[in-house]
Structure 1
Amino acid sequence: MQDGRTGTELVPVSPYGPFHRFVDRIRELNIEGRVHDALAEIDLFEWIAEAFGDRRTADFMLQRRMYTYLHLQQHEPALSIGAQLVARHRASGNLLGEARTLADLAELCMLTGRDAEGMRYLARAGLLLESTTRRNDCYVRALASCGDAAIAAGLHEIAAAFYDAYYAGNGPDQDGYIPFVYSALLVSWGLWLDHLGRNLEAGHRWRRLAAITDTWLTSFGRVGRASHVQILTGTRALALAKLGRTDEALALAQRSIAGPGTGSYTHPELWTAHLALAVALRARGEFTAARRELVAAEHLVSRGIRADDRLLVQYELATLTAEVLGQHVETVGADIYADVLGALQGQAQQLWRQRRQRMTMLRQARQREQLEIEHARAHAALLRDPLTGLGNRRHFDQLMADIYAGNHPSPTTLLLVDVDNFKSINDTHSHSAGDEILRELARIIGAHCRQGIDTPIRYAGDEFTIFLNSDPVNAVSVAERIRASVSATDFSGTAPGTPVSISTGVAALRCGMTPTELFHTADTNLYRAKRAGRNRVAT
């Protein structure tokens, strides 16, 4: 090129699909609080992505639809969308996408009182994350969703393990996912411990929160993320207020509340700034002003998705009311305050005991999920050819049985692939050379198949079959690309002086056709390709 740059530099490839800008648009609408507009645009964008074959963006649209329903507290539609998304991720082999969606479903189950189901989803999500070494942006988001689910279940130690492991290896997250969920964890944990009277443990969480928010505020300030700075400033103010640093907390909370917003919309996460201001004002004895801030905090937190947060603010409001009554009712004032505080702490302790039960449920769910995963691996091994890693004859028979039962995608086209003159390759260069060629052919065939959609199989010896979810025209195109790739591959290191090529027969599954007829048609076309000179596709 004239400017000296490569095509890759001029046209960067996005891992998020060609229509990923749609996803950014939906995020912007949700941040602005325009959730109904977001749903309307999701309908349009999802249709466009599906129409143009951009399954990745279509999956993101489903995910944003689920989150928007969650934001609107429409839990049943969100659960339904989540189940669809898990199935899509599992079919396409998107392990991190599956883990994230399972964690989101776990949180939804906790919000709707389905604890056992939620623990099962969370256990499986955690096991999937442990099984991968990938530490990319998708991993961060899956990790954050697992943390959110653990917080919703009151499993603060589990959530902390997710976040600490990531933070130790990666430091501050410029996109804000880990800072927000990690700080939300410490806020919830600190308030619970405060309300249970476990002040030393609570103090440890508040000091940790003060330290990490200070680091993150510096990081976000450098890159100009004003909205991130505004929310985390309020969170830091709450930590300082709980640590007794009243003047600093007041200044930070007021700055956060008065900070740059998005028009008349106030982000729900700013409830921590109002709570911080209330705690500081209460410490100064300004009870009326403190109550006003607590009411504002309760209003904001009611728009969020974490039900426990509202309980925590209501506890602060109730203890403030009890303290005011105790100071103004003669002779029995102190008793009133002690009675109310005792009743509130008793309820908090009961909720805390329920959390221990969930911890036990999670351990049991994890054991069951481990057994299921091991069983699935063993079953998959029975269907895998050990030489090539493709499906084996048992898998082929299973797919043919599915066709016979009518349980197959439409359209379905079968490719029957045979290596030309393979016997002479074995006789001339040894069976180990032949095995190496079969492995390379399997790699080429697999590279031309869509994971979770098409199924490549080593049928027998040097024969392969490919079940394509495609019409005959596209199937022939795929077969030609595979044939051309094989012809262009250099096998001289394995079989010097011997050309390697393949012949392919193509057969489309027609209405009323039996599996035997489908295979016979592909086999007939394969031999037509052989008789026509090999290294070709026949249909």
Structure 2
Amino acid sequence: MEGLPVPVTAFGPLHLLVLRVHRLANTGRGHEAIAAADAYLALARLSGEHKSIPYLIQGKMYANLHMGRYPEGAELAEELLRLHRANGSALGEAKTLCDLAHFDILRSRYVDAMRNLARAAVLMDAPHPDRGRRASALCSFAEAATAAEMYENASASYEQLGETTGAFDLVHAMTLLYWGLRLDHIGRHDDAAERLHRSAAITRRHADQRPDDMSAAAMLALALAKLGDVIPAEKLAREAIMPLRAAESFQYARMAHLALGISLRAHGDLAAARTEIVAAGELCAFGGRPDELPIIRFEMALTALAIEDGQSSRDLFEAVVGQTRELWRVRLQRVAMLRQARQQEEAEAARARAEREVLRDPLTGLGNRRRFDLLLDRIDSGRLAAPLVLLLVDVDHFKAVNDAYSHSVGDRALREVARIVRAHCRTEDVPVRYAGDEFTVFLRGDLRVGREVAERIRAAVAHSAIIPGVRLTVSVGLAALTPDMTGDALFRATDDRLYAAKFSGRNTIAS
């Protein structure tokens, strides 16, 4: 990609094109975002610029999300997940699992969603030096949790994000606001007031700094109205409604209408209160959160009861209360599902860590002989198939090194050779310390790829000052897995090539 008039960034040389796709997706121009992403993906693949590909797929995925094309978006999330796993990007995998869970939730596939969120949470819990990418993954987790009305999980995520940046304060305030409204509707008034006060505190700080921000004004008005501070709530709501409707900011316009309706009801102006709450409900036709309509319906039923305290109004209100409690019970089931899925994933991760430790060579950190034998068994059972190349790397004259410099120096040399071998392996390759000074690599690819990797390992060892004053070298034999070949046959073929490399003078490769 030489000559492109763009700098190299975390998004790759095509970063300006990546940003354009995301900007289009996030501003409601989904069709343009998808067309641009397809064009730029073709360019990236043609030029071999693989670094930008995941970000372009991600932008296309978000465009489908905003357009309500959930199956198409989920397919792109699956594709992105495979890329991150192949690249060994744990945080990329975690973020995409959260995005995939978001699509699952929108398609009412809650079991899959909770499993994906649980896996993402376990991945994010591991230590990560890249705080920015972890914050991005945590944001996707919070968004998926919000879509599932799991306010507890979303709020905890936003609190973590708030420790490093204030960029998510208003989103957190909105989570607290809806959480408080739902708690109030099921009769947990003290818990509701606590959330509403926290939401109001956040939005008041923002509104004081940005008095022209009508979205913050609408949020603050709704929190204050439910807390009974109806005079400032009414004033804020009246000022916000028309600017928000004119800007087609319908979610915040709904909040302003609802805040005004609740305030008017408190003043006893019931007809006007009903008009405002009806207006809030009508704006739900323009989309919105799944929890908004139940909230508006509850306030409408409460207003209807205030207008006419007859049997029919009481019956209607009791029906709405029953539905509200049932929705809350279903919501709590999702929270429990996530907790159980998280426990299962943590247990599975602990088992995997224990298994890896059993299969790890303590000196070098590579796989051990037991791992080697298990991989040969996988070849015999057909679970590890071509294209596969086995490399056998042997340190030349290693016994002489031990005899001349001590076993501690020899151990240090083995660790450095292991580091070089590992550095030339991809995520899907498996390096193993076979025995003593011999290493193997189960390499995914053909013989040409195997020769390239073997030569890079040989050259890297030869040019490294592993032991001062000593030129340490390795010989490498390699063979490719062929149809109907057993694991033992592959190893014998590789060992024969290693013998040929040593016979030809060492510090060379043979295939």
Q: TM-score range by the shorter chain?
A: 0.7 to 0.9
Give per-residue Cα distances to partners, 1:94-113, cap 9 Å, x unaligned: 22233333333444444444
Q: Does 1:465 align with 2:440?
A: yes
- TM-aligned CA deviation for residue 536 of structure 1: 2.9
**CA distance 1:38–1:315, change in 2 (3 Å):** farther
Q: Given the two structures, how large is their TM-score scaled by the length of structure 2?
A: 0.84
SS at match of 1:211: helix
Name the CA distance, whole Å, in 2 between partners of 1:394 and 1:65: 44
Deviates further, 309-318 or 426-435: 309-318
1:147·1:181 contact (CA, 8 Å) conserved in 2?
no
Does the aligned pair in 1 maintain the 2:462–2:473 contact within 8 Å?
Answer: yes
- How far residue 189 of structure 1 moved from its aligned partner, in angstroms, is 0.1
Query: 192, 195, 201: which one pairs with 2:185?
Result: 195
CA deviation after TM superposition for structure 1 residue 172, in Å: 0.7
Q: Structure 1 pair 267/490, CA: closer, same or farther in 2 (3 Å)?
A: farther
Matches within 5 A, 1:54-65: 57-65=52-60
Equivalent residue number for residue 535 of structure 1: 507
1:329 is matched with none
1:389 aligns to what SS in structure 2? coil
Q: Does 1:501 align with 2:473?
A: yes
* Paired position in structure 2 for 1:159: 154
Per-residue displacement from partner, 1:376-405 (whole Å, max 9, x unpaired)? 222222332222111223333333444455
What letter is aligned with 1:373? A
Tell me which residue corresponds to 2:409: 433
Query: Aligned partners of 1:308, 1:361: CA distance in 2, in Å?
Result: 19
Paired position in structure 2 for 1:298? 284
Distance in 2 of aligned mates of 1:37 and 1:245: 45
**Inter-CA distance 211–50: structure 2 relative to 1 (3 Å threshold):** farther
**Residue 50 (structure 1) shift:** 4.8
The answer (yes or no) to whether the contact 2:26–2:63 under 8 Å persists in 1 is: no
Deviation sequence 1:69-99 (CA, Å, 0-9, x none)? 4434444444444445445444543222333
Which of 143, 162, 172 does residue 166 from structure 2 map onto? 172
SS of the aligned residue for 1:534 comes to coil
Amino acid at match of 2:88: G
Q: Could you tell me which residue of structure 2 aligns to residue 5 of structure 1? A: none
* Aligned with residue 204 of structure 1, among 194, 217, 228: 194
Aligned counterpart, 1:523: 495
Matched, 1:315 2:298: yes
Equivalent position of 2:461 in the other structure:
486
Deviation, structure 1 residue 164: 2.1
Q: Cα distance 1:254–1:32, how it changes in 2: closer, same or farther (>3 A)?
A: farther
CA distance in 2, matches of 1:465, 1:445: 9
CA distance in 2, matches of 1:407, 1:35: 41
Number of residue pairs the alignment of both structures matches: 504
1:381 corresponds to which residue?
357
**1:484 offset after TM fit, Å?**
2.8
Deviation at 1:489, TM superposition (A): 2.2
- Aligned residue for 1:170, secondary structure, equals coil
User: What are the superposed Cα offsets for residues 306-333 of structure 1, whole Å, 9 maximum, x if unpaired?
Assistant: 4223322343344445545x2xxxxxx4
Tell me the CA shift for residue 439 of structure 1. Answer: 1.0
CA distance in 1, matches of 2:172, 2:468: 59
Contact 2:128 2:134 in 1 (8 A): no
Structure 1 residue 294: Cα displacement: 0.5
Kindly provide the CA deviation profile for residues 387-443 of structure 1, in whole angstroms up to 9, marking residues without a partner as x: 211122333333344445554476433332211111111111122211111111111
- What is the deviation of 1:216? 4.9
Q: Using the alignment, how far apart are the partners of 1:11 and 1:458 within structure 2?
A: 43
Q: How does 1:333-344 map to 2 (within 5 A)?
A: 333=309, 335-344=311-320
Residue matched to 1:236? 220
CA contact (8 A) 1:391 1:455 kept: yes
Question: Match of 1:372, SS?
Answer: helix
Residue matched to 1:6: none
Query: What secondary structure is seen at the aligned counterpart in 2 of 1:307?
Result: coil
Closer, same or farther in 2 for the Cα pair 1:460/1:23, shift >3 Å? Answer: same
Aligned-residue RMSD, C-alpha? 3.7
Whole-angstrom CA distance in 1 between matches of 2:446 and 2:135: 38
SS in 2 for 1:98: helix
2:97–2:119 Cα contact (<8 Å) kept: yes
User: 1:313 corresponds to which letter in structure 2?
Assistant: I
Q: Which runs of 5+ in 2 are unaligned?
A: none
The percent identity for this pair of structures is 41
TM-score normalised by structure 1 residue count: 0.80
Mapped partners of 2:214, 2:51: distance in 1: 33
Per the alignment, do residues 239 and 439 of structure 1 end up closer, same or farther by CA in structure 2, a change over 3 Å counting?
Answer: same
Cα deviation for residue 157 of structure 1 reads 2.5
Alignment correspondent of 1:456: 431
Query: Conserved in 1, the CA contact under 8 Å of 2:28 and 2:66?
Result: no
The letter of the residue matching 1:413 is V
**Alignment correspondent of 2:123:** 128
1:322–1:337 contact (8 Å) kept in structure 2: yes
Of 280-289 and 347-356, deviating more is 280-289
Match of 1:15 among 3, 10, 34: 10
